[in-house]
Amino acid sequence: MTEEPVTPEFLASLPTVPGVYLMKDRAGKVIYVGKAISLRQRVRSYFNQSGDDRFFVKYLRDRVRSIETIITDTEKEALLLENTLIKKHKPRYNIRLRDDKTYISLRFDVNHKWPRVHRARRRKRGDKAVYFGPYSSSKSVNETLRFLQRLFPIRSCSDRELESRARPCMLHQIDRCCAPCVGKADRDTYDDYVQKSLLFLRGRRPDVVKILTEKMEEYSSTLQFEKAALVRDRLNAVRRTVEEEKVHSHRVFDRDVIAMLRGAGRSVFSVLEFRRGRLDDSRVFDVKDTGVEDEALIEEFLSQYYDTTRPVPRDILVACEPVNRELLERTLADQREGPVRLRVPQRGEKRRLMEMARQNAEAALERLVAGKKTVEATLENLRKSLKLKAVPRHIECFDISTFQGSFPVGSMTCFRDAEADKNGYRRFRIKTIDGQNDFAMMREVLTRRYRRVTENQEDAPDLIVIDGGVGQLNIAVEVLKELELFGRIPVVGLAKARTKQADGETLRTEERVFLPRRKNPVTFNRADPALHLLERIRDETHRFGVTYHRLLRTKSAFKTGLEEIPGVGPKRRNLLLKQFGSLNAIKAADVEDLAATEGIPRETAETIHRFFHPEEKEKTSDHG
């Protein structure tokens, strides 16, 4: 791995081998990641006037100050590494997929002593668990989990609950868990439930029906009628799902159809997922159009879309043939552990499916264009109302959250083009202020944030919004003046609407926006979208800060008193609390009782006893 300034000597010294290159700006931030069969040839093309003629490359030339290269053995390794680094660094000039919905999978931890199935947002790299999905909605996931619990009562609690529980939970009482946490589960029976659950989730319902039928007949022949009735109910539930699948399934195939449409500076991808012959889900992604050719754009999309968190089908229909098609097919085949075909449909049923996906992309692009016009109008109105020199595309907002001076925190949210940019959010634990002093806390937070701007470590926003009135605004102005940023970055204070009594009536004032060096605040019409945008930003900042504040309070409330003891980590704390039941009981225990606890060595037991009884150590020392 090398990182050097961009000079003709550096470009000439690059090796002619496969690898990945990371372009960085003057602050050292990665702004573009690319892969190459030959690093020298690819990187040099960016800096030759007759080389790479993509639209965004001219901006890269002006901003790149250094390039880091990573050599790989093969082009395939470079492709995988490029995808990983894009997700890690989120570079500005690479496409970054924005899904129109989140997705949830079911994770079956089959390697655990007592396996369980639970919801999971992302698949962990190298995880040996079995995943099912993704599902289109949390509702469908919850329904699947509830149905599975009725069929096969394996545990649903977390590993921590499994280890610390002393008596069965409510699910055991209603026959939806066999309670391995307290030793009520039989190992063979539990393993049988796990295998049947896997068959069910893999879609092999007929196999489950056969197994349950045999089990029901076995219980009936041995006169265990209650158990036979329980299995019968489960059998009927599975049979209903089998009949439902027969109604919907005609031709059995797994296939993804991916259409692409470009316009208004955006690239829209529509993905239709067909599983077992029926449309199982649809997604739409939109990215900023970087000006690359269609073939290169579809390749970049595919390499990011089919990461380790998504199942890969056998057939993938695409709008145009991607560059490096054979390399992509080999990479996806390794991930799927079976052959994968990338095809551009020309006629017939597959062409009809591509047209359906294209219509979805077209509708999404129309919504984007309409929304973009609305956003542009809103930001322009905000610029005029606040007398700003430039349209405030990048807005940062600040708030202070505390409760009677305890656990004070500052929060900052970042909005770009009227949308939350959560990568730009920041949380600040107040370090220098004691007691309730919101003004001093705001000074600390703003100084810590914008000192990084003066040091060229982060970009400056187009507008700063302070949650508060004239007092908080004046603090912000002082900080910006001290950092020599006042006049360069506009700042306003947003004061909440107030209610007051007048002549027996309750009157509500409007939201007020205070500007530096102006006595009277700016007010907006209640229906003005610009005001709604400011309120949304302010409310999101408040929510973000309160969430962090509550997290700190919760962590403090759940401290057991054992955290400060050397050699006692979370696992040993749980073992001690499970054995003794309370902190007072642990304090009262002698060394022998502590050492008798499973997982607590005698040396650790002596450390725990000395921690709670330091006076005994002092007495021993005095006696000696």
CATH number of the domain that residue 496 is part of? 3.30.420.340
**Calpha distance 393→375 (Å, rounded):** 10
Residues 415 and 550 in one domain: yes
- Alpha-helical regions (H) of 8-51: 8-13, 39-46
618 shares a domain with 542:
no
Summarised one tens digit per residue, pLDDT across range 173-200 is 887 888 888 888 888 888 888 887 887 7
Q: Per residue in 518-529, pLDDT tens?
A: 888 998 888 888
Confirm whether 225 is domain-assigned. Answer: no
CA 564 to chain centre: 32
Provide the mean pLDDT of the chain: 82
Quick one: average pLDDT of 307-316?
Answer: 80
pTM above 0.85? no
Same domain, 479 and 618: no
Which structural domain, as residue segments, surrounds residue 314? 255-366
Alpha-carbon gap, residue 340 to 338, rounded angstroms: 7
Interval 452-471: pLDDT, tens: 898 877 789 999 999 988 99
Q: Are residues 500 and 578 in the same domain?
A: no
Has residue 310 been placed in a domain?
A: yes
pLDDT band at 220 (very low <50, low <70, confident <90, very high): confident
Would residue 8 count as lying in a domain? yes
Shared domain check, 329 and 267: yes
Q: Is the pLDDT of residue 212 over 80?
A: no
Residue 35 lies in a domain: yes
Tell whether the model's pLDDT for residue 417 goes beyond 70. yes
Alpha-carbon distances of 541 from 191, 416, 516, 546, rounded to whole Å: 48, 14, 21, 9
Question: What average pLDDT score do residues 157-169 get?
Answer: 83
Residue 21 is assigned to a structural domain of this protein: yes
| Per-residue model confidence (pLDDT) at position 340 | 93
Query: Cα dihedral sign for 457, 459, 463, 465?
Result: negative
pLDDT in tens, 200-210: 776 566 766 77
Q: CA–CA separation, 303 vs 340, rounded Å?
A: 14
Burial of residue 121 (CB within 10 Å: 0-12, 13-18, 19+) is: exposed
Both 400 and 357 in one domain: the answer is no
The answer to whether residues 160 and 574 touch, using CB atoms and an 8 Å cutoff, is: yes
Asked whether residue 501 falls in the same domain as residue 526, the answer is: yes
Among 2-16, 441-455, 546-560, name the one with the lowest average pLDDT.
546-560
Average pLDDT over residues 285-294: 84
Residues above pLDDT 70, as percent of the chain = 84
Total domains, the chain: 4
Is 235:327 a contact under the CB 8 Å cutoff?
A: no
Decide which of 101 and 263 is more confident.
263
The answer to whether residues 400 and 502 belong to one domain is: yes
CATH number of the domain residue 67 falls in: 3.40.1440.10
Q: Report which of residues 57 and 597 the model is more confident about.
A: 597
Percent of the chain with pLDDT over 90: 23
Is-contact 472 438, C-beta < 8 A? yes
Q: Could you give the CA distance from residue 317 to residue 321 in angstroms, rounded to a whole number?
A: 9
Short-list 102, 135, 81, CA closest to 307: 81
Q: Which two tokens stand for residue 457?
A: 């470590």
Predicted pLDDT at 611: 83
Q: Give the domain-ending residue among 529, 555, 581.
A: 555
In the structure, what pLDDT confidence band is assigned to residue 500 with cuts at 50, 70 and 90?
A: low
pLDDT surpassing 70 at residue 619: no
- Give the separation between CA 287 and CA 196, rounded to whole angstroms: 42
Residues 404 and 534 in one domain: yes
Indicate if 497 and 604 belong to the same structural domain: no
Rounded mean pLDDT, 594-602 = 90
For residue 196, is it within any domain? no
pLDDT at residue number 261: 92
CB count in 10 Å sphere of residue 348? 8
**CATH number of the structural domain spanning residue 599:** 1.10.150.20
In-domain check, residue 99: no
Last residue of a domain, one of 555, 578, 609: 555
Establish if 17 belongs to a structural domain: yes
E strands, 210-252, in order: none
Domain boundary among 505, 525, 555: 555
Q: Do 549 and 586 share a domain, yes or no?
A: no
- Are 524 and 580 within one domain? no
